[in-house]
Structure 1
């Protein structure tokens, strides 16, 4: 079994199979290829994989589920589009299993989305946020000030993880208390900074100055790894899960930077009830994507029902 087969080579073999054995149309082939290429770019951007070296056995259910969730929650795609991408990936992995290139299909346990249904986003609730930040504050590490600044940026700014790791020192305007950068779709984003974020960054900068940078990109980068490179996506993802576990957050393995982004959005909507402001701060191209944050939690529903008059 050739489990170390490169992802790119596996896709090429799959496309040949669709053409030669399945006889699919040119348009259908293009859709499969597009979906598999999109997934590869997601793995590169969100999990920091080198796609040229990525092997098929490195891909797991969590990465697939995150990709398909973001198709709905971040990329503003329809449920039908998400389901088509799920089918493309499922067919691809079925092919690999049939060819004895993999022992199992990691997409089989992922359910299709009901058409026209958008799920409520998962976010930290109640005291989880305070417990999470307290776990970082109490953690004794050289990276403690950096980690606190990163997490406060997620919780007070709602940045995408790709946006955060690409921030540079000169993106911050301390006088205006804001950051300006180019986000998804190369669109310019302006995000005000809460004083908590400003303080956390200023507290981190002296520790950052002690790290010897390895290249020009690292010299410009706001957040550095301990080895002197720009911090990468996977490091941030692992760090978030670590603190969620230390804080005793329920289902800590499911806590990701995206969940912190959802937490920011949920808190801000509860405070303002203003979808337009939320849309701009999150960098959504369509307000329909932002509307997922108009949800109410179970306790709010209970309080609403309890306030009904007796009949």
Structure 2
């Protein structure tokens, strides 16, 4: 039975279009080895498209114009083609199938050009990063250090450093011992971010103490089973801790701490919380941009969203004629 996004059966497609779609699907299956479910999704999306084209009098691939592609994109958003209206993200998915098909047809010579190349997907609502309250962060950090032996000390140091620096998980597990400066007056970490760009970020006193305790009291025991890696954070075999293992450390700490929706807590949650809490505390957005390693301040500004209640409070306190 056809799914909710299947092409309407009231209008047929055109044989030439169906042949061209079949050739593309064969290419995806044989040359690119796509999974059966992925191929079925492409087939369903392109069936909807070719039915729409046939309804506009386009019986051959070479007859399709950019205006036809744009009209199709508009129709799937509203359901005017007779099928289920699509969200912005689903419309972007179906447009990706259309782009791929037209590009293939142009390369194969079935069409003189790609009429879809200039058609952009609809703008999608930008989701705000998930952050957790500062009190939940504290519970999380305390839960990570529960237990005896070197592992709890490592886990507490790992999460303290993630939250203290706002670093990506890959940046923290990639740290070597020489990348840390633990002098109380100038504690800092040298992080290697995206595009191999280095940045030096301050390390707070809680994280500095946790990392120092780990390096002195736990890392030597973990390192004894390995081959002498310079990595700061080690697994129980003495090798560098992986991103997946670090993720598991956080997930387990969130569960032990009893944080709501603990399974949704990720390493990026601490990064988002770091930025959100800094900005809420009055930090300048450009300073937070530097700390996060964002190339553009626009990326950082998604953390500056405030609630209506906060807006009203700030307005009432700051505007000279807000209150009678």
Does TM, scored on the shorter chain, surpass 0.5?
yes
The farther-off stretch of 181-190 and 126-135 is: 126-135
1:111-126 matches, within 5 Å, as 115=123, 117-126=125-134
Determine the structure 1 residue equivalent to 2:239: 229
Q: Does 1:214 align with 2:226?
A: yes
Q: Per-residue CA shift, 1:265-300, capped at 9, x if unaligned?
A: 111111234111111100011111101110124763
> Is this contact kept in 1: 2:225–2:236, CA < 8 A?
no
SS in 2 for 1:191: strand
1:13 aligns with 2:33: yes
TM-score (norm 1): 0.61
Residue deviations 1:142-194 (CA, integer Å, cap 9, x gap): 31111111111111100101111100000012233111232111111111111
- Counterparts of 1:137 and 1:202, CA distance in 2: 14
Aligned residue number for residue 290 of structure 1? 300
Contact 2:144 2:249 in 1 (8 A): no
TM-score (normalizing by structure 2): 0.59
Change (3 A) 1:300 1:247: farther
Distance 1:173 1:194 in 2: 12
Say whether residues 1:204 and 2:224 are aligned partners. Answer: no
* Higher relative contact order, chain-length normalized (CA < 8 Å, sep 6+): 1
Unpaired runs of 5+ residues, structure 2, are 1-28, 47-60, 63-87, 101-120
Q: Map 1:38-57; keep pairs closer than 5 Å.
A: none
Instruction: Indicate the residue corresponding to 2:153 in structure 1.
Output: 145
Correspondence 1:20-169 to 2 at 5 A: 84=92, 115=123, 117-169=125-177
Gaps of 5+ in 1: 1-8, 26-79, 93-112
Structure number with bigger Rg: 2
Superposition pairs of residues 232-251 of structure 1, within 5 angstroms: 232-251=242-261
RMSD: 3.8
Q: Does 1:270 align with 2:270?
A: no
Between the aligned partners of 2:260 and 2:165, the Cα distance in structure 1 is: 23
| 1:127 match: secondary structure | helix
Structure 1 residues 154 and 269 mapped into 2: Cα distance closer, same or farther (>3 Å)? same
Structure 1 residues 283 and 302: alpha-carbon distance in aligned structure 2, compared to 1, 3 A threshold: same
